[in-house]
Structure 1
């Protein structure tokens, strides 16, 4: 079932969200300071491309640097990536078939706003924080 949902997601919104995250990651990797943010964006891009069967969990070892990084991320890229999830989620919720995919878009908003200090893991092991 996860595979079918992922394939439908890929055609409805996953590919375009993936491109948005890749573009954000490429722009952030232009400077040396932005490389950690670019890597986070690439990590979320893969999750946005194929989200069903995976979840995001908080890392226990993340400290103050990830909090400061999240503030910078929010200013640099997080707000417009979250806005893309809001717009896509609303558009998908217009149809009955798109409602689960719209809800999945809304669930990606917190990760798009503050990705540092979080880890993407398979749903069968949500507490596998490293």
Structure 2
């Protein structure tokens, strides 16, 4: 079932979201100071390609740098991205077929709002719930 949902997601929304996050990552990596944001954008791009069967957990050892980076991210990009995922998720949930895709958009809100200090892991692994 996860594979089928991921394929539907990829065709209808995931590919374009991943391209957008990858372009943002390339732009961020051009400037030396914003490379951590670029790496986070690439991580989110991979997650948006295949979101079903994976989850986001806190990365052990993420400290003050991740907190400061997340504050900067929220100010400049995070709240826009979260609002976009929320709006798209609500719109997708208006149809029965779109509900799983809307839920996938809702899953992207936390990582698009606070991407630094996070790790994307398979859902069926025991360490996925830490």
TM-score (norm 1): 0.91
Q: Is the 8 A contact 1:86 1:105 kept in 2?
A: yes
Matches within 5 A, 1:78-97: 78-97=78-97
Q: What residue in structure 2 maps to residue 19 of structure 1?
A: 19
Q: How far, CA to CA, are the matches of 1:126 and 1:73 in structure 2?
A: 30
Cα separation, 2, equivalents of 1:26 and 1:75: 20
Equivalent residue for 2:47?
Answer: 47
C-alpha deviations, 1:97-116, integer Å up to 9, x for none?
A: 10121012112101100011
* Deviation for aligned residue 1:74: 1.4
Aligned to 1:63: 63
TM-score normalised per structure 2: 0.91
Once superposed, which parts of structure 1, at least 4 consecutive aligned residues long, lie more than 3 Å away? none
Change (3 A) 1:122 1:109: same
* 1:2 to 1:55, Cα distance in 2 relative to 1, 3 A: same
Unaligned runs of 5+ in 2: none
Q: How many residues align?
A: 129
In 2, the alpha carbon distance for the partners of 1:36 and 1:105 equals 23
TM-align CA RMSD: 1.6
- CA drift of 1:72 comes to 1.1
CA distance in 2, matches of 1:5, 1:105: 13
Normalized per residue, the structure richer in helix is 2
- Are 2:37 and 1:34 equivalent residues in the alignment? no
